[in-house]
């Protein structure tokens, strides 16, 4: 297991003290809130009690009036409308939300999801030509379109208008669409900038609801799909996203979309649905459709009118995901074996591996898996016709896109952002690209970026841990980027004598300080057991969980890392 560096975050103690006096809760909890930017009673109230009434008006978004007017004109003129979205979770849920909403009030609407390998990411010429062939004169693009300047100009030249709903960073030149809904536009006054694509689609149907004087609750029936997109697209779980995810989870637990219900049933999901269920149960199955086959069936899952039909599509996605897992597992094993067999890899600051038979749909996942083992910028390549193509993933803090850009003379094409990218090159250029990428990374990366970091929210004593403390932490959910599950540093604990290794992989431990003893689990941490056997004080990084055994619930610690006490 890789050695990790621990970074203890610091909350402003004066602000935390003031917050404690107004909230009357444990000082440690107030430090957690301050670290998350919550510094007043009113902010804390909004955080713990997210209200849909606090959502900003959709009309604050630039071009919302133009978008709504163009869609209503299309309805009144009986034009054919095509809802177009990307093949990932954000794209397919966006399409499901806007298509379902429109179909209930207007019959002449269809949807289109581009094929990952035949058409690639985003707006495609094939999609526009399909719109032309089927008589569509308006395309609503979701989770894509902001960079499709030439393609949207092409659509315009053949009589097709575009309404773009996107959340990716715009370039200086914008596409010639009738309306562009994207809060990241420099002149857009919309106050919350971190919506996902499905969130932008939700704002559009909210504005249409108002304009068409539909029941004001109409958009809320899609909140569980919006929450799924927020969870899967790794956008900040703050502000508006937190409100949407919070109420989306309530919807998913009370009256889920039939597609979500079908996936829950196939996964034997029981109990309360949390954000991590959306991330680990639903997102991989939806993404697998696009990775292994055709993502259109993911939309069909979410718009299915009956549970029976939804289950048919859920089974297809389940099967795609099984194939994806097998390809992911075998490719990861092969890639690790390649690296282990070549001792010179150990001294490198980057990883570039290529095998022509690897499945294109899993190379990004495999890159992430390799980072778990070696923690360095990683590129996994496979054959794509006569070329090599693949995915790149970064370590926190390192600008991967800039590093790839610096190697552009060896590439046919590339694109992406700070943390992830895709690239294409001649197969004969793989070796020379690998060396160039290594030299660029070595020159730019800081030594500490090659060591995984654990961010510790605050120090904790065992005596602070009780049911009330844990209940308040639970109220901080949903957890995600910018609102992570709190990680605690607990110092100078000793093994009580009951700790042991279970199933040869995990550590079931019992630790104590002068006053209190607590148990917990460290998954895949058997290699750290020797630190407990020494019977010397240890410091631990952990989260707090609830364990249920034979109907009895108790609090336990979930170990993240352990080291000799300082």
pLDDT reading at 16 higher than 90: yes
Q: Could you give the CA distance from residue 264 to residue 267 in angstroms, rounded to a whole number?
A: 5
Which pLDDT value is given to residue 181?
98
Which pLDDT value is given to residue 291?
82
Q: Could you give the CA distance from residue 257 to residue 99 in angstroms, rounded to a whole number?
A: 14
Q: Calculate mean pLDDT across residues 134-150.
A: 95
Exposed, middle or buried by CB within 10 Å (0-12, 13-18, 19+), for 561?
buried
Q: Could you give the CA distance from residue 118 to residue 258 in angstroms, rounded to a whole number?
A: 30
The overall pTM is greater than 0.85:
yes
Which pLDDT value is given to residue 288?
86
Q: Could you give the CA distance from residue 565 to residue 560 in angstroms, rounded to a whole number?
A: 15
User: What pLDDT, in 10s, does the model give residues 17-46?
Assistant: 999 999 999 999 999 999 999 999 999 999
Q: Calculate mean pLDDT across residues 528-535.
A: 88
User: What pLDDT, in 10s, does the model give residues 175-207?
Assistant: 999 999 999 999 999 999 999 999 999 999 999
* Domain 454-564 bears CATH identifier 3.40.50.300: no
User: What pLDDT, in 10s, does the model give residues 266-293?
Assistant: 888 878 888 888 888 888 898 888 888 7
Radius of gyration of the chain (CA): 25
Q: Identify any residues that bridge with 547 across adjacent strands, giving them in sequence order.
A: 554
**What Å distances lie between residue 55 and 98, 247, 289, 444, CA to CA?**
19, 12, 32, 41
Q: What topology does CATH give the domain 58-318?
A: inorganic pyrophosphatase (n-terminal core) (3.90.1640)
pLDDT reading at 344 higher than 90: no
Which pLDDT value is given to residue 552?
84
User: What pLDDT, in 10s, does the model give residues 380-395?
Assistant: 999 988 999 999 999 9
Which pLDDT value is given to residue 167?
93
Q: Identify any residues that bridge with 521 across adjacent strands, giving them in sequence order.
A: 508, 558
Q: Calculate mean pLDDT across residues 201-226.
A: 97
Close Cβ partners of 135 (under 8 Å, ≥ 6 residues apart): 80
pLDDT reading at 117 higher than 80: no
Instruction: Give the CATH number of domain 342-450.
Output: 3.10.310.30
Q: Calculate mean pLDDT across residues 467-483.
A: 93
Length of the chain: 566
Q: What is the mean pLDDT of the chain?
A: 93
pLDDT reading at 69 higher than 70: yes
**368: confidence class by pLDDT, cuts 50, 70, 90:** very high
How many C-beta neighbours within 10 Å does residue 45 have? 12
User: Is residue 177 within 8 Å of residue 196, measured between CB atoms?
Assistant: no
**1: confidence class by pLDDT, cuts 50, 70, 90:** low
Q: Could you give the CA distance from residue 556 to residue 220 in angstroms, rounded to a whole number?
A: 36
Q: Which sequence spans correspond to the domains of the chain?
A: 58-318, 342-450, 454-564
């Amino acid at each position: 297991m890789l050695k990790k560096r621990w970074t203890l975050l610091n909350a402003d103690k004066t602000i935390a003290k003031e917050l404690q006096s107004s909230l009357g809760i444990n000082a440690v909890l107030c430090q957690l809130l301050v670290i998350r930017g919550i510094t007043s009673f009113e902010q804390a109230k909004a955080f713990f009690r997210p209200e849909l009434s606090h959502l900003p008006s959709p009309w604050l978004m630039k071009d919302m009036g133009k978008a709504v007017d163009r869609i209503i004109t299309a309805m009144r003129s009986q034009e054919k409308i095509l809802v177009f979205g990307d093949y990932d979770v954000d794209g397919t849920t966006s399409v499901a939300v806007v298509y379902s909403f429109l179909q209930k009030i207007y019959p002449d609407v269809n949807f289109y999801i581009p094929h990952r390998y035949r058409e690639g990411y985003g707006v495609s010429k094939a999609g526009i030509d399909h719109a032309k062939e089927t008589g569509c004169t308006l395309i609503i693009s979701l989770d894509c379109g902001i960079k499709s300047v030439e393609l949207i100009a092409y659509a315009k030249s053949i009589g097709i208008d575009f309404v773009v709903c996107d959340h990716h960073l715009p370039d200086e030149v914008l596409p010639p669409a009738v309306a562009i809904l994207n809060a990241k536009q420099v002149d857009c006054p919309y106050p919350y900038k971190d919506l996902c694509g499905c969130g932008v689609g939700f704002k559009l149907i909210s504005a249409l609801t108002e304009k068409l004087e539909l029941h004001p609750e109409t958009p809320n029936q899609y909140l569980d799909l919006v929450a799924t997109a927020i969870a899967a697209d790794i956008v900040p779980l703050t502000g508006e996203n937190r409100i949407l995810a919070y109420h989306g989870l309530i919807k998913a637990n009370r009256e889920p979309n039939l597609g979500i219900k079908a996936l829950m049933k196939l996964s034997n999901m029981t109990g309360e649905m949390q954000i991590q269920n959306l991330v680990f149960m639903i997102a991989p199955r939806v993404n697998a459709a696009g990775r292994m086959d055709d993502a259109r069936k993911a939309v069909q899952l979410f718009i299915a009118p009956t549970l029976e039909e939804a289950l048919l599509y859920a089974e297809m996605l389940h099967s795609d995901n099984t194939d994806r897992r097998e390809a992911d597992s075998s490719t990861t094993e092969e890639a690790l074996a390649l690296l282990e067999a070549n001792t010179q890899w150990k001294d490198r600051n980057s990883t570039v591996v290529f095998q022509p038979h690897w499945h294109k749909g899993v190379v990004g996942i495999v890159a992430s898996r390799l980072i778990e083992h070696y923690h360095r910028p990683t590129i996994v390549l496979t054959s794509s016709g006569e070329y090599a193509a693949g995915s790149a993933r970064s370590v926190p803090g390192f600008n991967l896109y800039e590093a790839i850009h610096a190697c552009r003379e060896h590439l046919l094409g590339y694109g992406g952002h700070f943390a992830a990218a895709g690239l294409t090159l001649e197969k004969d250029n793989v070796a020379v690209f690998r060396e160039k990428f290594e030299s660029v990374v070595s020159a730019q990366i800081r030594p500490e970026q090659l060591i995984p970091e654990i961010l510790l929210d605050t120090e904790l004593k065992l005596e602070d841990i009780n049911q009330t403390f844990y209940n308040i932490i639970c109220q901080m959910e949903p957890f995600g980027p910018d609102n992570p599950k709190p990680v605690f540093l607990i110092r100078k604990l000793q093994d009580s004598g009951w700790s042991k290794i279970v199933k040869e992989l995990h550590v079931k431990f019992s630790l104590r300080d002068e006053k209190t003893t607590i148990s917990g689990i460290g998954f895949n941490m058997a290699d750290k057991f020797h630190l407990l056997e020494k019977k010397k004080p240890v410091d631990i990084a952990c989260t707090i969980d609830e364990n249920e055994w034979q109907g009895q619930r108790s609090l336990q610690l979930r170990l993240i890392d352990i080291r000799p006490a300082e």
